Amino acid sequence: MNVAVRPQASTHDARLDRLGEVAVRVGLGLAPGQELVITAPLDAVPLVRRITAHAYRAGASLVTTLLSDDASTLARFEHAPDAAFDTAASWLYDGMATAFRGGAARLAIAGENPSLLAGQDPDRVARANRARSVADRPALELITGFNINWTITSFATPAWARTMFPELSDDAAAAKLWDAIFAASRIDAPDPVAAWAEHNASLHARTVMLNASRFTALHFRGPGTDLRVGLSDGHLWLGGSEPAKNGIVCNPNIPTEEVFTTPHRLRVDGTVRSTKPLSYQGTLIQDIAVRFKAGVIVDATARTGQEVLQKVLDTDEGARRLGEVALVPHSSPISASGLLFFNTLFDENAASHIALGQAYKTCLEGGTTASDTELAQRGANSSLIHIDWMIGSGEVDVDGIDVAGSAEPLMRRGEWAVAA
């Protein structure tokens, strides 16, 4: 699949409608009678309406959408009193958690302005982020624990398109970003739902191979990178669609190209450099270089966004440790597009990556029923944050290390070195 050159026969409206259908049928696997909670930027209303229509056709009992608005977010930073930045809408997140406990599915539409808060006081940004993370925790745990089916898809907002293509007019930039979103989301395939079934099968084959290998660690080597990532005891590799605890099979990310598992929070050592910028809550953090010792980041620098990065690392004890490691071939369609999206949903699927913070319980054998103490003993990290950043490229090699300490080539120059 080529993101840039494929001529499009169908209209934008038809493609947008297919994205809505893929989000509901593939992303959520929405079941008849289920409620659905959508969060979206205001600009994404055209897609929200299509998703809502597909959800009701799939038998949804009620679709509720919460819209966010960049200008209103900025107004807070410009005009609110300083003491306001420790406030979050706990009642709203509690309500969402209540909906999930009652069986509602969750859909988020990404498309935020990657640099919205770039000019704001990093301390206020960090306080607002922290307050929101604390308030969101009960709802987020139900999502990361896969109690419910959930998915994230995207909308080409004008601000996001302008960030990616500053040299183009707004219309041309949006058209280019839409082409990339539709291609990466497999919307232009003759039968998008069938294309996703095939893609899920190939990701599942890769997880079967990795789970059979029982590696105890991964070793990444590349420019500025010599990192050994120990894997948690009884870790499981996941990728593509998976069943939630409610029995519904969902694809948590549209698009997705990664296979991923849980590192051991005490067994990460060495240096690693980011290979793509990280857009975090409106701040662009570029050229991250960190050193791990016994699982903890002991040095961290970044060319831009360093203050925000430091505050992120100080969020809590687990923020300096890893909660995820993921492998993505350099030739993945998103990477092959050559585009930098400034959006984690896309950029993390263009490169192998690691995530600071919270681990996914589903990436451990019996993880969703194990106690927090047991999960911690097996190496699963715990934190208010989960932030993916990209460490793979066409210059990075990855070895799998087995229990006897011998290395098996897994990726060479960013490509799989073993058959699935």
Q: Which stretch binds Zn ion (CB under 5 A): 48-56, 101-109, 150-158, 255-263?
A: 255-263
User: Residue 388 CB, nearest distance to Zn ion (Å)?
Assistant: 4
User: Rounded to an integer, what distance in angstroms lies between the CA atom of residue 180 and that of residue 157?
Assistant: 13
Smallest separation, CB 325 to Zn ion (Å): 8
Query: In a 3-state reduction of DSSP, which class is residue 100?
Result: helix
Binding part of the chain for Zn ion, among 222-230, 305-313, 342-350, 369-377 by CB under 5 A, reads 342-350
Of 261 and 337, nearer to Zn ion (C-beta) is 261
Q: Which residues of 54-91 are buried (b: 16+ CB within 10 A; e: fewer)?
A: bbeebebeebebeeeebeebbeebeeeeeeebeebeee
- 322 pairs with which residues across the strands? 356
* Pick 48 or 359: Cβ nearer Zn ion: 359
Each residue 313-332 as x (binds Zn ion by CB under 5 A) or -, in order, gives -----------x-x------
Stretch that binds Zn ion, among 78-86, 224-232, 239-247, 260-268 (CB under 5 A): 260-268
Q: Which is nearer to Zn ion, 234 or 252 (CB)?
A: 252
Closest CB to Zn ion among residues 39, 358:
358
Helix H or strand E encompassing 16 = helix 12-22
Q: Are strands 296-301 and 289-293 parallel, antiparallel or unpaired?
A: antiparallel
CB of 240 to Zn ion, least distance (A): 12
| CA–CA distance, 293 with 266 (Å, rounded to integer) | 9
Q: Are 125 and 117 in contact (CB under 8 A)?
A: yes
| Amino acid code (one letter) for 186 | R
Q: Choose between 188 and 388: whose C-beta lies nearer to Zn ion.
A: 388
* 117 forms part of the interface with Zn ion (CB under 5 A): no
Asked whether position 388 contacts Zn ion by CB under 5 A, the answer is yes
Residue 63 near residue 90 (C-beta atoms within 8 A): no
Nearer to Zn ion, 17 or 388 (CB): 388
Closest approach, Cβ 355 to Zn ion, in A, equals: 4
Least distance in Å: CB of 374 to Zn ion?
22
Stretch of residues binding Zn ion (CB under 5 A), selected from 144-152, 186-194, 345-353, 405-413:
345-353
Q: Near Zn ion by CB under 5 A, which window of 70-78, 114-122, 221-229, 382-390?
A: 382-390
Q: With CB under 5 A as the contact rule, which of the stretches 33-41, 86-94, 262-270, 384-392 interacts with Zn ion?
A: 384-392
CB of 69 to Zn ion, least distance (A): 26
Rule CB under 5 A: is residue 347 a binding residue for Zn ion? no
Q: Kindly state the smallest distance separating residue 357's Cβ from Zn ion, in Å.
A: 9
What's the closest the beta carbon of residue 378 comes to Zn ion, in angstroms?
A: 19
Nearer to Zn ion, 48 or 387 (CB): 387
Is residue 257 within 8 Å of 332, Cβ to Cβ? Answer: yes
Residue 161 is a binding residue for Zn ion (CB under 5 A): no
Residue 20 or 263 having the CB closest to Zn ion: 263
Q: How many CB atoms lie within 10 A of CB 415?
A: 12
Task: Give Cβ neighbours of residue 248 (< 8 Å, ≥ 6 apart).
Answer: 28, 29, 30, 31, 105, 148, 149
Q: Which is nearer to Zn ion, 326 or 339 (CB)?
A: 326
Please choose, out of 194-202, 205-213, 242-250, 254-262, the segment that lies near Zn ion by the rule CB under 5 A. 254-262
Residue 355 interacting with Zn ion (CB under 5 A): yes
Q: What's the rounded Cα separation, in Å, for the pair 323 and 66?
A: 28
- How near is the Cβ of 260 to Zn ion at its closest, in Å? 5
Query: Following DSSP, what letter does each residue of 154-216 receive, concatenated?
Result: E---HHHHHHH-TTS-HHHHHHHHHHHHHHHTTTTSSSHHHHHHHHHHHHHHHHHHHHHHT-S
Greatest alpha-carbon span in the chain: 60
- Which of the stretches 16-24, 100-108, 388-396, 404-412 binds Zn ion when contact is defined by CB under 5 A? 388-396
With contacts defined by CB under 5 A, how many residues of the chain interact with Zn ion? 7
Question: Of the two residues 188 and 258, which places its CB atom closer to Zn ion in the complex?
Answer: 258
Closest to Zn ion by CB, 326 or 411: 326
Answer yes or no: are the C-beta atoms of 145 and 330 closer than 8 Å: no
Contact criterion met (CB below 8 Å) for 281 and 117: yes
Q: Report the 10 Å Cβ neighbour count for 279.
A: 25
E strand segments, 88-174: 105-110, 150-154
Residues that bind Zn ion (CB under 5 A): 258, 260, 324, 326, 348, 355, 388
